[in-house]
Amino acid sequence: MNRLFLLPALLMPMLLSAQQGFMPLSHVIDGGLTARMHAWKAPGHSAVRPYARQDAALFAPDTSGPRALLPVLDRWAADSARVRFGPLVDLQAGLDAGQDPATTHRLGGGLWLDADAGRHVTFHLDGMAWNERFPSYLDSLVRSTRMSPGEGYAYKVGDARSHYEVNGYVDVAAGKYFRFTLGRGKHFIGEGMRSLFLSDNTYSYPYFKITTTAWHIRYVNLFTRMSDIRGAGGDPTRNLRKFASFHYLSWNISKRVNAGLFEAIVWQDNDPAYPRGFDINYLNPAVFLRPVEFSLGSPDNALLGFAFNVKVGRRTLLYSQLMLDEFLKDNVQAGTGWAGNKQAFQLGVVAHGAFGAKPLTLRGEFNYVRPFMYTHSDTRQNYSHAGEPLAHPYGSNFWEALVQGEWRKDRWLVRELFSAALMGQDTSNAPNSSYGSNIFLPENSRPLRDSTHYENYGFYVGDPLAVTILHNDLSIGYLVAPRSGMMVELGWTLRSRSPDAGGGLTNFIRLGVSAYFRDRHAVQEPRYVLD
């Protein structure tokens, strides 16, 4: 792995000019570029985020967007500068007026920095630290997982939690077709609000990425080191290591049609007697991972995904994902709820300039994930990092339907999100038995059919206890610093859970300055308790 990280330096003599670096992984910041990439005839590969700045260079500059409210922020962040930087600030107070009224706060600060080393190499660094008192439903999640959603281990400080996140990368362009990125951060693959392939729901992680763009194809190889935090008590030095290798091939078949192929392998390095490290068999960027996994006779966790996206009209995209862990056609067609039916799919549509209103974007999306999806017989190899799912934050055994609206005008940003979900929840009637909702339980924790055999059939979405989540979030913001996504924001969250389990209603209002340098995923539900 250490030798692998030397690749960018070895490739320096091959460098040619290219616009360097990446945009922040934030819909507040990159939403305008996404809309332009979804337009008919537009080039680029909008399913691969964060976007490379060379993707933005394919389009005419967007001069209609807002400049910073404080001009000095624009000067610090100007594209023409070789060193660009800006502050990141969260100063937010709120009231959770649900069943147990309480005040909340989110106090954070940090900095982002970009620096160009010539025309070919870009360095990036950003970091923030927070002290936060969460609304009740997120506090339940934090107590269950020990993690602030996507923002690090949540250390208890009085009646609040402290957490931090630091990211950075070195991005190198080698020739016309290749770029190499070594860093720490997060990634998102998909066109939806959610991704069933790889999302930015988790805490950041070290990675090495090779991006190849030629003709109408973009091919991404992502090699990562991830962590299992169970039993570590918040001490990063005690985290158990795991590794993952991802491939994503995006092909613009025509000006309207895009297809994608996704592969992932997750393996662990947790045996002190045999530290496996990064398996070099998974380093070959030009092969499918699944055949390699089979050729090794390996018990590693392998997943395969397919995407198909179609542009309709001038500014509307129909998108889909299909994710497979195990698939036997006869058992799927039989409809008997076989535990090995481990599949997930997504269908969605997003319309920019909906109903002729240029500032308006509307989205509708449906996600369906079978029980036991993303689990594994060795829980150290499940599809997670740092106690959080690598795909959808609900994990497995659920369906979700959501609608989203967004209005952008000058510095104003109004967002509305409504999500309805039904999920199966394990019950105390079968302690230590899994019906496929807890990705941190092994597959062989299914209930016993008799004294010696596990039950193999009868596992359906919503079993054994159907839980319904209704989540509505409305916010209005005024951008202070568009390049860092920092805005003055007023937001309201109304959420219900049935059965309530002692915390079924959240009525949460918040006001303050929010830095959306990265997307936040506040539509969450605790599905498990980590040790």
Q: Is the pTM of this model over 0.85?
A: yes
pLDDT at 271: 56
* Kind plus residue range of the DSSP H or E element containing 9: helix 7-10
What is the distance between the alpha carbons of residues 315 and 293, in angstroms, rounded to a whole number? Answer: 40
Counting every residue written for the chain, the total comes to 531
The full DSSP string for 300-343 is -EEEEEEEEEEEETTTEEEEEEEEEEE--HHHHHHTS--TT-EE
* 4-515 belongs to CATH 2.40.160.130: yes
C-alpha distances (whole Å) from 207 to each of 125, 244, 396 are: 15, 9, 26
pLDDT at 378: 87
pLDDT at 429: 62
pLDDT at 142: 96
Per-residue model confidence as pLDDT tens for the chain (531 residues): 444 444 444 333 333 344 578 999 999 999 999 999 999 989 899 999 999 988 887 776 665 556 555 555 555 666 667 898 999 999 999 999 877 789 999 999 999 999 998 788 999 999 999 999 999 999 999 999 999 999 999 999 999 999 999 999 999 998 889 999 999 999 999 999 999 999 999 999 999 999 999 999 999 999 999 999 998 888 888 898 999 999 999 999 999 999 999 999 998 876 555 566 676 767 766 666 566 655 555 678 889 999 999 999 999 999 999 999 987 888 888 888 998 899 999 999 999 999 999 999 999 999 999 999 999 988 889 999 999 999 999 999 999 999 999 999 999 999 999 999 999 998 766 656 789 999 999 888 888 888 788 889 999 999 999 999 999 999 999 999 888 999 999 999 999 999 976 567 899 999 999 999 999 999 999 999 987
DSSP 8-state code for residue 135: -
Q: Which of these, 276, 234, 213, 182, lies nearest to 387 by C-alpha position?
A: 234
pLDDT at 234: 86
Q: Which two tokens stand for residue 530?
A: 């980590």
pLDDT at 8: 42
The full DSSP string for 45-87 is -TTEESPBHHHHTTS----SSPPPSSHHHHHHT-TT-SEEEEE
Residue tagged 């006001």 (tokens): 511
Q: Where are the alpha helices (DSSP H) in 47-196?
A: 53-56, 71-76, 136-145
